[in-house]
């Protein structure tokens, strides 16, 4: 099947649906394509809340400054200013759409504290804020009648004369490949957590958009900046929201000490995530951990706060560890959580490639720089989702529809047929993915070193070689997940390579990128973005730099 739209959005999480809704409002013929039903998107796992300077004692400048400081001064300050200024209106719009935000005594939006913020500015719905936003936005998509291709898996980008003109996608339920032609494509396909084991991310976070856009010519920026969240559940690695600490929970070491006083005497448990994660890792490394974990203690908050404001994590600790956090502290450790880097965009989601836009985790505007503050990711999705939707629709009006793409569709069919017909050589997708992800956690995780990164790149080349033999263990057409897992593994390899190369390049420590051989931040040489551009299969990507935009906050020593 070949269909034509003005704008196609890849991904139906918050950024994707917000972009789709805005493009539809701007009059474009929009379709959203998503490999899972929109409600299954990983935005629903965002627990704690969403930041905005709404209250009278707050200012957008304060929000912007906290974000810039949190980013270790790698964020572009013009983009951060836009996000902080537009945040209140975007959140109020979601309130008007029906999100049941927590209220204060006056019936106005109530807030909670979050990490790295000068004051409480996080608006929330219990500890299901992402889910509450996602279902409300999905229902708005239904109301607006935006077309959604559910369980369609994108396999390739349709390019013509250097511009993006659509996607090829596999319809999971029939196994058919389709060509979706468009004047603009917005990548809102989320993160790449499956590249790391363990990770807080869902099994669907496989970096599809990074790889597809990168191979289509859109550069990736600051890929080394991979966030480790300070509180992920021991064992499973599930997220224990920062809101727990926002509500007042303590982090304790094996001696029962609130160790954050040594690392962040002012903000204590509410320091920025990179700082807190490293503090935990240090405690554990120095022998004050408990089986590789530290403790998250909520007991003093009392059952009322826990059950009313943090019910989901209470249930998760109970379900997956058998621990009732009302009575016992919960063992937690730093775990891979978020990719700050991504497809390099301007403040309207536009990339270097005409017709390619990006928003949400897959994009790098950059508002998060070297380290994202908690509750800024939901904000990023709705502000830049909206802006990219608007801009892509505007751009689409300037472009005339073109035919073509049948060639690509045929080539993709052949490529998938070839994949499916490979013989079994003992190389399995799951085994290879696990090796890759374990390696990434070990060598490209919280701490990096020259030697480790070199080994990582070598290992990755080895994995690429083996990937060429990986077996698709299902030969059917209907809902062939074995096939899509193999395609996802291909995306992950591209993500892994760009992260490793970017990390090798940045010879300093900044934000989430902690380089043991260069332990200091080096503003003289590295206060700049690193940008990777694809140069073709088997070739080293081109590395270039982009300046960091500084408007009013000069880099300072970062303490909490």
Partner 1 sequence: MQFTIEVGRYNPEGRYAETAVPGEAFPAPWNASPARRYQTYTVELPQHAVVLDALIAIREYQDPSLAVRCACRSAICGSCAMWINGHANLACKSKLESFTKDGKTRVESPPSMPIIRDLVCDMKPFWDKHLAVKPWLENKEPVPPPDEEYRVPNAAMEELIQEVSCISCSACLMDCESFAVNPDFLGPQALAQAYRYVGDPRDDKTKERLGELSKAGGIWDCTHCFECVQQCPKGVAPLEQILKLRKLAVDAGFTNNPGTRHADAFADSVKHSGRLNELTLMPKSTGLFNIVGQLKTLPSAINMARAGKLPPLIHKSIPGVERIKKIFQRVGGRFK
Question: Contacts with partner 1 in 77-136 (CB under 8 A)?
Answer: 88-89, 92-93, 95-98, 100-110, 125-126, 128, 131-132, 135-136
User: Rounded to whole angstroms, how far apart are CA atoms 293 and 512?
Assistant: 19
Task: Pick between residue 139 and residue 517 the one whose CB is nearest to partner 1.
Answer: 139
Structure tokens at 557: 């020593």
Catalytic residue among 111, 273, 387, 501: 273
The correct pick among 1, 2, 142, 516 for binding partner 1 (CB under 8 A) is 142
Task: Pick between residue 92 and residue 399 the one whose CB is nearest to partner 1.
Answer: 92
Per CB under 8 A, 27 contacts partner 1: no
Three-state secondary structure call for residue 318: helix
The correct pick among 287, 423, 538, 547 for binding partner 1 (CB under 8 A) is 423
Q: Which stretch binds partner 1 (CB under 8 A): 292-300, 348-356, 369-377, 418-426?
A: 418-426
The tokens 């930041």 sit on which residue? 51
Task: Pick between residue 198 and residue 385 the one whose CB is nearest to partner 1.
Answer: 198
Q: Which stretch binds partner 1 (CB under 8 A): 2-10, 363-371, 480-488, 498-506?
A: 480-488
Task: Tell me the per-residue interface mask from 489 to 528 with partner 1, x by CB under 8 A, - otherwise.
Answer: ----------------------------------------
In contact, 19 and 386? CB cutoff 8 Å: yes
User: Rounded to whole angstroms, how far apart are CA atoms 301 and 75?
Assistant: 35
From the CB of 544, what's the least distance to partner 1, in Å?
35
Residues constituting the chain: 560
User: In sequence order, what DSSP letters do the residues of 130-168 get, joined into one string?
Assistant: HHHHHHHHHHHHHHHT-EEEETEEEEEEEEETTEEEEEE
Q: Which residues of 31-49 are buried (b: 16+ CB within 10 A; e: fewer)?
A: bbbbbbebebbbbbbbbbb
Per CB under 8 A, 476 contacts partner 1: yes
From the CB of 309, what's the least distance to partner 1, in Å?
10
Q: At what angle do helices 377-397 and 129-144 cross, to 10 degrees?
A: 20
The tokens 């070839």 sit on which residue? 418
User: Rounded to whole angstroms, how far apart are CA atoms 35 and 233?
Assistant: 27
Task: Pick between residue 1 and residue 144 the one whose CB is nearest to partner 1.
Answer: 144
User: Rounded to whole angstroms, how far apart are CA atoms 125 and 48?
Assistant: 8
Q: Which helix (H) or strand (E) holds 220?
A: strand 220-221
Catalytic status, residue 273: yes
Query: Could you count the other beta carbons within 10 Å of the beta carbon of residue 281?
Result: 20
Closest CA to 160 of 400, 409, 356, 402: 402
User: Rounded to whole angstroms, how far apart are CA atoms 362 and 190?
Assistant: 5
The correct pick among 1, 139, 458, 516 for binding partner 1 (CB under 8 A) is 139
Q: Which stretch binds partner 1 (CB under 8 A): 19-27, 178-186, 196-204, 283-291?
A: 196-204
The residues that bridge with 331 in the sheet, in sequence order, are 295
Task: Map the footprint of partner 1 across residues 273-332, applying CB under 8 A.
Answer: 308, 312, 315-316, 319-320, 322
Per CB under 8 A, 143 contacts partner 1: yes
Task: Pick between residue 482 and residue 548 the one whose CB is nearest to partner 1.
Answer: 482
From the CB of 482, what's the least distance to partner 1, in Å?
4
Structure tokens at 40: 């299954």
Per CB under 8 A, 65 contacts partner 1: no
Task: Map the footprint of partner 1 across residues 203-222, applying CB under 8 A.
Answer: 203-204
From the CB of 87, what's the least distance to partner 1, in Å?
12
How many residues touch partner 1 under the rule CB under 8 A: the total is: 71
Task: Pick between residue 134 and residue 295 the one whose CB is nearest to partner 1.
Answer: 134
Per CB under 8 A, 474 contacts partner 1: yes
Q: Which helix (H) or strand (E) holds 523?
A: helix 523-526
Per CB under 8 A, 430 contacts partner 1: yes
Per CB under 8 A, 469 contacts partner 1: no
End-to-end CA distance of the chain: 56
Task: Map the footprint of partner 1 across residues 163-182, applying CB under 8 A.
Answer: 173
Task: Pick between residue 287 and residue 426 the one whose CB is nearest to partner 1.
Answer: 426
- Give me Rg for the CA atoms of the chain: 22
What residues are annotated to the active site? 273
């Amino acid at each position: 099947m070949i269909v034509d739209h003005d704008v196609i959005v890849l991904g139906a999480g918050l950024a994707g649906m917000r972009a789709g809704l805005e493009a539809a409002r701007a009059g474009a013929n929009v379709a959203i394509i998503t490999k899972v039903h929109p409600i299954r998107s990983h935005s629903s796992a965002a627990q704690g809340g969403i930041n905005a300077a709404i209250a009278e004692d707050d200012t957008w400048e304060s929000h912007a400054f906290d974000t810039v400081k949190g980013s270790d001064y790698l964020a572009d300050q013009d983009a951060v200013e836009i996000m902080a200024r537009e945040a209140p209106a975007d959140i109020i719009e979601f309130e008007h759409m029906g999100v049941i935000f927590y209220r204060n005594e006056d019936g106005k939006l109530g807030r909670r504290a979050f990490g790295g913020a000068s004051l409480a500015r996080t608006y929330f719905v219990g500890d299901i804020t992402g889910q509450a936003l996602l279902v409300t936005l999905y229902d708005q998509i239904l109301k607006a009648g935006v077309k959604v291709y559910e369980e369609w898996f994108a396999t390739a980008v349709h390019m013509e004369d250097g511009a993006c003109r659509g996607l090829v996608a596999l319809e999971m339920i029939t196994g058919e490949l389709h060509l979706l032609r468009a004047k603009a494509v917005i990548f809102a396909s989320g993160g790449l957590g499956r590249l790391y084991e363990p990770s807080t991310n869902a099994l669907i976070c496989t970096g599809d958009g990074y790889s597809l856009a990168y191979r289509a010519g859109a550069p990736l920026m600051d890929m080394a900046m991979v966030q480790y969240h300070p509180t992920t559940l021991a064992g499973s690695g599930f997220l224990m929201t920062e809101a727990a600490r926002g509500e007042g929970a303590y982090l304790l070491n094996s001696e029962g000490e609130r160790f954050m006083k040594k690392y962040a005497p002012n903000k204590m448990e509410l320091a920025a995530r990179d700082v807190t994660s490293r503090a935990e890792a240090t405690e554990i490394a120095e022998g004050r951990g408990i089986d590789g974990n530290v403790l998250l203690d909520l007991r003093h908050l009392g059952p009322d706060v826990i059950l009313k404001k943090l019910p989901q994590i209470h249930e998760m600790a109970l379900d997956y560890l058998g621990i009732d956090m009302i009575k016992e502290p919960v063992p937690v450790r730093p775990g891979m959580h978020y990719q700050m880097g991504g497809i390099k965009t301007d403040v309207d989601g536009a990339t270097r490639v005409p017709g390619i836009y990006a928003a949400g985790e897959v994009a790098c505007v950059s508002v998060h720089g070297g380290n994202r503050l908690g509750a800024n990711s939901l904000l990023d999705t709705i502000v830049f989702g909206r802006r990219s939707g608007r801009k892509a629709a505007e751009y689409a009006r300037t472009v005339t529809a073109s035919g073509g793409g049948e060639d690509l569709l045929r080539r993709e069919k052949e490529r998938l047929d070839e994949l499916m017909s490979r013989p079994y050589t003992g190389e399995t997708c799951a085994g290879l993915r696990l090796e890759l992800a374990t390696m990434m956690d070990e060598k490209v995780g919280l701490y990096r070193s020259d030697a480790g990164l070199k080994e990582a790149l070598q290992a990755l080349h080895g994995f690429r070689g083996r990937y060429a033999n990986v077996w698709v263990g299902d030969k059917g057409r209907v809902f062939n997940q074995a096939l899509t897992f193999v395609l996802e593994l291909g995306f992950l390899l591209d993500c892994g390579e760009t992260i490793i190369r970017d990390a090798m390049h940045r010879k300093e420590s900044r934000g989430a990128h902690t380089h043991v051989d260069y332990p200091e931040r080096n503003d003289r040489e590295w206060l700049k973005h690193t940008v990777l551009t694809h140069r073709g299969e088997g070739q080293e990507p081109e590395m270039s730099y982009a300046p960091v935009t500084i408007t009013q906050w000069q880099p300072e020593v970062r303490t909490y």
